[in-house]
Amino acid sequence: MSWLEALVLGLVQGLTEYLPVSSSGHLAIGSALFGLQGEENLTFAIAVHAATVLSTIVILWKEIEWLFKGFFKFQWNDETKYVVNIILSMIPVAIVGLFFKDQ
């Protein structure tokens, strides 16, 4: 993969990640247009998704810190309610994931 291909695909990932479209799908289409396949493409996709997670943590650090500080006060407050709701919202996805883990 050339640096130009990496730049274009990185921009596609960055611009589509927070839109209500599939950034992974756009990344796959871009990779197909460049004729990229296999292990190199998978490694790049993992790298740009990891960069997305890191950038999200950096941008939202104050909010994340606020949630953790409130949650680990071990008292029922707004932060604890929010974290509990996040955890509860993960349960249905975990159940579905367990049913389809072998497919």
pLDDT digits (tens, 9 = 90+) for 8-37: 988 888 888 888 888 888 888 888 888 887
Entry pTM? 0.68
The predicted structure's pLDDT at residue 41: 79
Q: How many CB atoms lie within 10 A of CB 27?
A: 21
Selection from 37, 3, 30, 35 nearest residue 15 by Cα: 30
The predicted structure's pLDDT at residue 2: 86
Q: What integer is the mean pLDDT of 35-59? A: 87
Q: What is the H or E stretch that residue 87 is in?
A: helix 78-99
Domain coordinates in residue numbering, the chain:
3-59, 61-99
